[in-house]
Amino acid sequence: MQTTSDNLKIAKDRLMSMYAQLAEGKALYKAQEAVKYNCSLRSIQRDIDDLRSFFANQSETTGAVQELIYDRKLNAYRLVPPLRNLLTNEETFAVLKVLLESRSLTKEELFPILEKLITCCVPPENRRQVTDLIANEKYHYVEPRHKKAILEKMWNLSAAIREHKEIKITYMRQKGDDVSRVLKPVGIMFSEFYFYLVGFIDEDEQSEKVKFEVENDPFPTIYRIDRIKEYVVTDRHFNVPYQNRFEEGEFRKRVQFMYGGKLQKIKFWYKGPSVEAVLDRLPTAKIEQQNENGYLISAEVFGKGIDMWLRSQGDMVEIYTVHKGANLNE
């Protein structure tokens, strides 16, 4: 036989469970809750009234406005806004697919992220469905060839960027030789399987003279993070005037395949089936003209990567003009 104390504990546990459900952005259905807790609809309504009063009092005390409302479309109660604004099933699935398709991380680093996303963001009743949807791609996942863990390194480098601290790195270049650099790091970017550190070389602190294709180059250099063999975050701070700050978004619009080179303004005729794909590939691109020859497209881009892309298009592309300006990477 249940005592008054037992009944109070059951009611308290029920109330806390309903609170947690609302906090996670889930809806409360009175009939379902009554069945779940083997109690009357009247008891559930009392709990809902208590929760509504609690949130109203919290709004007055903390200033955080939250309201427990009845959603007539759902025929259920919702907290607006929810305490935890979780991703929807659809959003979580999209993020999982992007992570898998990027092939940027080792299995050891990627798979725990996938599991945490599913556990944290997908309701228990939908987890099997989401897990099954990515199961085949996860099974056949191909790691990047470097097979190096990069998450901790990338986080530490991002801290140096945020705190405007210079770093010393030992970097393995494409041809296999190591170089030492003292950098003023300004950004981290991702492109085609790899994460990159973007930074300005501090020539005053270099032990050796660095040769640039363009003297007094105003643009930063680019370093693949997996190729940074060693790094030290120094105590030396550097200043970045607001008007000269590095803007990753603007830089990313103009660089292809993270290959450096000179800033160029190009025009070319495109005769392929999807001009939309070209405009997505080159965010600065504009259609200047359209006729029976195709589309005349202009774009502002950084160097060598665009040359690779143009060659890959074969007969679908014909160069019209190229105007070269400045430079950017090792």
H-type alpha helices, the chain: 4-23, 30-37, 41-62, 89-102, 107-121, 124-139, 151-163, 248-254, 275-281, 303-312
146 or 64: whose pLDDT is higher?
A: 146
| Tokens, residue 42 | 């009247």
Binning pLDDT at 50, 70 and 90, where does residue 64 land? Answer: low
Are 260 and 303 in contact by the 8 Å Cβ rule? The answer is yes
In whole angstroms, what is the distance from residue 259 CA to residue 304 CA? 6
pLDDT tens readout for residues 97-137: 999 999 999 999 999 999 999 988 887 778 899 999 999 99
Of all residues in the chain, the percent with pLDDT exceeding 90 is: 45
Provide the whole-model pTM.
0.67
Of all residues in the chain, the percent with pLDDT exceeding 70 is: 83
Nearest of 150, 17, 22 to residue 82 by alpha carbon:
22
Could you give the 3-state DSSP secondary structure of residue 270? Answer: strand
Please, what are the domains in the chain? 4-80 (1.10.10.10), 89-139 (no CATH), 151-246 (2.30.30), 253-324 (3.30.70)
15-31 mean pLDDT? 89
Nearest of 225, 196, 155 to residue 302 by alpha carbon:
196
pLDDT tens readout for residues 178-220: 999 999 999 898 888 899 999 888 876 665 666 655 555 567 7
Lowest-pLDDT range, 13-22, 24-33, 235-244, 288-297? Answer: 235-244
* Strand pairing category for 286-291 and 221-224: unpaired
pLDDT tens readout for residues 255-272: 665 666 677 888 989 998
